[in-house]
Amino acid sequence: MKIYVVGIGAGSADGMTYEARKVLENSDVIVGYTVYADLVKKLLPDKEYFTSAMKQERERCEKAVEMAAQGRKVAVICSGDAGVYGMASLVHEVAAEFEDIDVCVVAGVSAMLSGGALVGAPLGHDFAVISLSDLLTPWEKIEKRLECAAIGDFAICLYNPSSKKRRDYLQKACDIILKCRDTKTVCAAAKNIGRDGEEYTVMTLGELRDYQADMFTTVFIGNSQTREIKGKMVTPRGYKNV
Amino acid sequence: MKIYVVGIGAGSADGMTYEARKVLENSDVIVGYTVYADLVKKLLPDKEYFTSAMKQERERCEKAVEMAAQGRKVAVICSGDAGVYGMASLVHEVAAEFEDIDVCVVAGVSAMLSGGALVGAPLGHDFAVISLSDLLTPWEKIEKRLECAAIGDFAICLYNPSSKKRRDYLQKACDIILKCRDTKTVCAAAKNIGRDGEEYTVMTLGELRDYQADMFTTVFIGNSQTREIKGKMVTPRGYKNV
């Protein structure tokens, strides 16, 4: 038996792959966080849905695996990609105890890519992706990673840059990176990618420090070569001018 | 006037987004590296194509921008995503001199995501993406990034792990990472993702050191928490068992 974990992209129907759409169409029940399920319901209103609130991920996965074990065709949905801060690893963990269940992950366009396309080409060279959420990761670990990414001159994409409880985390992150990167480094923030209210801002690292991000923001920090070109953030493909 | 840079995903028709397909269908001419253009030709045989060989990227972009400036609807295609080691930054650079041309990037599923889905969920937590190609980047810079990614306990995805001229680069990279990561660290390699001959191998970092990668291989190196679950590579979403 198979259980699918499907990345639906940023949220618009067009941002989904054909494979993701087919898997959802062929499933008996679609399982997901309420907000993402609502996006899919617009496309596939006649499906059965099992939804639950944020932070209920483990319960949702257990329920999904249970339904799959009963022989139902289950698709667990994630925004963006299924693997990047998504449910794929959790479903693999929960399904480990069920010998008959194969976990099939269907990749999707993660916010680093859809947001990247919106702001220009911020991840055109080596990059690091870091979540500022300390819900499942000690903050010291996050600080260490920010430091390493800065020292390595990686372009950086930040997920979960802010929430109600973590208003100053983006500022803290910028301060760590500013220790070894210029205050004029080109940066960008993308909000509500692929949804109503989509917008982006290109700015300097100094400005990003005081930027008001929210939980629907994806942040990009350039490497030493990143430039602003006609209002977009562009990281060149290399260091040699070939 | 607009010029589109389109990520077509791994290569199968199903791995493309609806948006990418629509842009290609609406374009007058599709510009790309011969191998990727051949993949699109299977879907859209009646389009006009302008193709050229590898390492002709700048000439191809210049030609594409020139055609767009003449009023043609041009789509420059890239495998995977358009931004990640793709043509988006180069098209932005080349188009900078043409005031009337807007560059529109259409994101796609990059090999780190499609390959990740194939091998399990290797990028379930913070990760670094590094290309081992020293064509446009000094090797010392690449070494420094490998070192920083290893120290930061990032999961790591390697692009371009090998080519005819760089047979021992993956071995060199593993040796750098082995300085601060266990030889038993779970790793994986995915070959020919989404194409004929698709395959993957899950192995240890010690084994990866002697693995024969080729230019169609994407490599994944786990962080300290990555596990093998039923033959797949899974990086948990965090460090706390929530």
- Residue extents of the structural domains in chain B: 2-109, 112-234
Q: Using a CB-CB distance cutoff of 8 angstroms, which residues of chain A are in contact with residue B57?
A: 237
Which of A66, A98, A228, A221 lies closest to A150, judged by CA? A221
d(CA B12, CA B24): 15
d(CA B161, CA B222): 16
Q: Please name the amino acid found at residue A68.
A: A
Q: Using a CB-CB distance cutoff of 8 angstroms, which residues of chain B are in contact with residue A119?
A: none
A 14-33 residues with CB below 8 A of B?
A: 14-19, 21-22
Q: A158, A170 in Cβ contact below 8 A?
A: yes
Beta strands at B232-234 and B227-229: parallel, antiparallel or unpaired: antiparallel
Architecture of domain B112-234: 2-Layer Sandwich (3.30)
Q: Is B198 on the interface with A (CB under 8 A)?
A: no
Task: Give the residue from A62, A65, A113 with the most B CB atoms within 10 Å of its CB, the best one to mutate.
Answer: A113
Residue ranges in A27-82 assigned as alpha helix (H): 34-43, 57-69
* Rounded-to-10 torsion of CA B183, B188, B192, B194: -170
Residues 6 or more apart whose CB falls under 8 angstroms from that of B76 comprise B3, B4, B5, B6, B31, B32, B60, B61, B64, B82, B87, B91
Q: Using a CB-CB distance cutoff of 8 angstroms, which residues of chain A are in contact with residue B42?
A: none
pLDDT tens for the 242 residues of chain A, in order? 999 999 999 988 999 999 999 999 999 999 999 999 999 999 999 999 999 887 788 999 999 999 999 999 999 999 999 999 999 999 999 999 999 999 999 999 999 999 999 999 999 999 999 999 998 899 999 999 999 999 999 999 999 998 788 889 999 999 999 999 999 999 999 999 999 999 999 999 999 999 999 989 999 999 999 999 999 999 999 876 54
Residue ranges in A152-200 assigned as alpha helix (H): 169-178
Complex-level ipTM: 0.97
In the CATH scheme, what is the code of domain A2-109? 3.40.1010.10
Is A238 within 8 Å of B137 when comparing Cβ atoms?
yes
B227-229 sheet: strands from edge to edge: B120-121, B232-234, B227-229
Model pLDDT for residues B157-214, shown as the tens digit of each residue? 999 998 788 889 999 999 999 999 999 999 999 999 999 999 999 999 999 999 999 9
d(CA B186, CA A46): 41
A 65-84 residues with CB below 8 A of B?
A: 81-84
B 215-234 residues with CB below 8 A of A?
A: 229-230, 232, 234
Q: Please name the amino acid found at residue A89.
A: S
Q: From residue A134, give the alpha-carbon distance in Å to each of A58, B18, B238.
A: 17, 35, 9
Q: Using a CB-CB distance cutoff of 8 angstroms, which residues of chain A are in contact with residue B116?
A: 81, 83-84, 105, 107
Which token pair is B242? 């929530």
